[in-house]
Structure formats: structure tokens, C-alpha cells
Amino acid sequence: MPKAMITGVTGQDGSYLAELLVSKGYEVHGLIRKASTFNTDRIDHIYQDPHDPSARLFLHYGDLSNSEQLANLIYNVRPDEVYHLGALSHVKVSFEIPEYTGTVTGLGTTRILEAIRRSGTPARFYQASSSEMYGSAPAPQSETTPFEPRSPYAIAKLYAFWMARNYREAYKMFAVNGILFNHESPRRGETFLSRKVTRAVARILAGRQKKVFLGNLEARRDYGYAPEYVEAMWRMLQLDEPGDFVLGTGVAPTMREFVEEAFGYAGLDWRERVEIDQRYFRPTEVDYLQADASKARRLLDWHPKVTYKDLARIMVDADMEAVGLTPIGEGLKLLDRHFGDWHRWASGVTAVIRSAGNGVD
Ligand code: NAP
Ligand code: G4F
């Protein structure tokens, strides 16, 4: 049975990836942080008591800021594949805690790479690189576009990108960079734009909230559906040779267009419900991210199906269900049509959203 280790297993992508790998017959080991509140909501539905012989997901406490724990874990588990998804992933927050961002999002990658190297395990390594690294580089961006990062987060990710490349070249490690453009889902954290908006739509419909405060709505993001992206992460580690891959849909709406779509789907006029608040603007913004994912189409046979309009419907439906409303239903039909069972997340997502409580913005 192949063994995988996932850092960031409690996050959006980590939870979908854990599901995918368990469904493919992997034994999955996830790194989780010790918190005083429950932080495993997104994976509770696939977690079983480790004493159960059919258990396939095992969780280990650790932190990306501590190399000793990481080294022990990799030495003891000896995974075949390591998916390094853990990071401080919020761009706006990275401006507020730039040093911590460097330690976790940047140096965290070095700690894992070094733990693999020193353990002598021939593990394949996936680095969660980001389209944010392109910053102000003109769109569309591909694997050959020079990076022009515009945030502490992007700069930390760029350092990590080059560390993965360096270990590939220096130590012949099978290390890949997935340069992923924005991918969203009902499991997206509540403070990212897409989820903040779809959650607000549902809560407005339920009478729990009157309006939502947002920042710059003129930036463009290439929006895809997260489960499709984790499938491509796995494909990257099955290749004969390691490489770097851009993943995105090639379609980049403004955030205003996404807001319009989500509110419009629910029959609401967004102009009556959205207020612009300077607090949510960034000191430096990334204006235009649009993927040229032709390499992934060619070498990974990767063809994402979900558009940003579909995404608005899927996420509004899920958030409506979470607040106890009957979903409008187009999003659920889209998932059925495109994917069938795996992406229906019947047990998982609803529970996650229900337990998410009020959150913050
Ligand atoms: P996410 O939902 O924010 O998940 C981040 C994960 O990292 C969580 O499990 C979090 O744990 C964990 N983490 C944070 N700090 C940690 C620390 N000090 N030690 C150990 N674990 C820590 O992010 P995501 O959207 O799934 O993204 C996954 C990865 O892809 C991230 O590296 C992100 O930067 C990158 N990425 C994301 C996108 C996107 O559009 N989603 C695009 C490009 C790249 P807690 O649950 O305890 O907070
Ligand atoms: O949803 P966002 O915070 O995502 P952002 O900054 O694009 O970063 C995400 O995608 C990256 C890939 O390019 C990942 F690497 C990163 O980890 C993360 O997953 O913001 C999207 C856009 C920005 O232009 C932001 O300025 O929406 C704008 N925005 C407007 N109002 C807002 C808000 N963003 C947030 N989070 N909250 C607002 O109220």
C-alpha cells in the first residue's frame, strides 16, 4: 500500500487530497497543529480510530516552524509521496505578520525538504506554489513567465519554489512545483473573497446578515474548483520526470463579476448588499492572474470542467444548506453532471460549514 504524507491536511486542499488518496488505496499521514479548539472539521468524515484495522488516515501533531518534529515524522513514517500544502495562505494577513509568514510559508518548505533528504527516504515531493508569485507580471502567466511578487506571502512562496527546484537539481530529488491559480470550493476558508461572498449571500437570504464589507473588486483571478486541482497534484507525482506545472482554467473574471454572479444566482442585487471598506485593500495588489495551463493539459491530461459561474452556484448552494435553507439546486446538479459521487461531499462539507459558526471577515 503506498504511503503519503500531507502537511496542511486540515485545510481546503489537504482535505480533498486526503479523500482522493484514501480512495486510491493510500495510507495517508497528515500533519495537524495542536489547537485549543477542534480544527479537523474538514477531515472528520474520513477519520477512523487508528485501532480500527480499516483506518487509512493517521494524524500527527507538528508545526512547520519546528524542524525536529518534522524530521522525526518523516523518518518514522517513510512516506512514498509528500504533499507539502501547509502554509500561512492568506495574502492580506501576510502583510500583517511578514516574519511569521517567512518562517512558516518559506522556511517550512526547507524544513521538510531537509527532513526528506536526511532520512534517506526516496519520497517524491510536491510544493504548493502559487500564482501569487507572478504578482505584476503580465497575463496570461505560464511556467516561463518571470515572477514579480507583490506580497510577503508571494515572496515566501517564491523562496520555497526555488528551494524545491534546488533540491531537485542538487540532490536529484523528485520535487515538483504546482503553480496553482486560485481554486475555491465550499471548503474554502471563510475569509477568502469567494467564500466570504457566498456565505454572505446565504446568510442574507436567511435574514442573519444585511450586507457584506469588501475591498478591491477590480482585480482579476483565474477561479477553478479545488477538487479538480488536487487530482492534478497527484498526477504530477506519478510522472516519469519531475517538473513545474501551472494549473488554472484560463478564465479570469474580476472579483466584481464573481460577486454579481453569486448574488444574482440568489436573486439579490449586489449593489444593495455590498459596501466597500478600505480595511480590506492590500498595500500592494495583484491585478491580473490568468493561467496558461497548456503544459498541464499536454503532460497531465488535465482539463478542468468547473467555471467561475458554476463555482458561484456550487458554493451558494452549499452555504444555503449550511444555514438551513433549501439550496436553489443548480450547483448540486452541476456536481452530479460533472463528477458523480466523490465531489458530492455529502457527509463532509455540510458538516464543515455548519460547524464553522460565525467566523470573522
Ligand atoms: P488553507 O485552507 O489555508 O490550509 C492551510 C493549511 O496549512 C491548514 O491545514 C493549516 O492548519 C496549515 N498550517 C498553517 N500554518 C501551519 C503551521 N505553522 N504548521 C502546520 N500547519 C500549518 O490553504 P489551501 O487553500 O488549502 O491551500 C493549500 C496550499 O496551497 C497552501 O500552501 C496555499 O498557500 C497554496 N495555494 C493555494 C491556492 C488556492 O487558491 N487555494 C492557490 C495556490 C497555492 P490549520 O487548519 O491548523 O490552520
Ligand atoms: O480571496 P483572496 O484573499 O485570494 P488571493 O489573494 O488571490 O490569494 C489566494 O489565491 C492565491 C493564488 O493566487 C493563493 F496562493 C493564496 O494562498 C490564496 O489562496 O483575494 C482575491 C481578491 C484579491 O484581489 C483581494 O484584494 O479579492 C480581493 N478582495 C476584495 N475584497 C478581497 C476582499 N479578498 C479578501 N480575502 N477579503 C475581502 O474582503
Above 60 in pLDDT, residue 350? no
Ligand nearest to the CA of 105: 1
Q: Determine the pLDDT at residue 346.
A: 43
The ligand 2 atom nearest the CA atom of 193: 1
Q: Per-residue confidence at 54, pLDDT binned at 50, 70, 90?
A: confident
**Cβ 89 under 6 angstroms from ligand 1:** yes
Catalytic residues: 130, 132, 153
pLDDT in tens, 4-21: 999 999 999 999 999 999
pLDDT in tens, 317-327: 999 999 999 99
**Cβ 64 under 6 angstroms from ligand 1:** yes
Distance (Å) from CA 202 to ligand 2 centroid: 20
**Cβ 63 under 6 angstroms from ligand 1:** yes
Q: Determine the pLDDT at residue 339.
A: 79
Q: Determine the pLDDT at residue 305.
A: 94
Q: How many residues does the chain have?
A: 361
Of the candidates 216, 206, 192, the one whose C-alpha atom is nearest the C-alpha of residue 361 is 192
Is the peptide bond preceding residue 50 cis, with omega within 30 degrees of 0?
Answer: no
Q: Determine the pLDDT at residue 35.
A: 86
Above 60 in pLDDT, residue 132? yes
Q: What value does the mean pLDDT of the chain take?
A: 93
Of 92, 192, 277, 315, best ligand 2 pocket probe by most atoms within 8 Å of the beta carbon: 192
Enumerate residues 6+ apart whose C-beta is below 8 A from 33.
10, 39, 61, 62, 63
Q: Per-residue confidence at 354, pLDDT binned at 50, 70, 90?
A: very low
Q: Are 258 and 216 in contact (CB under 8 A)?
A: no
What's the average model confidence in pLDDT over 276-282?
98
Q: What pTM does this model have?
A: 0.96
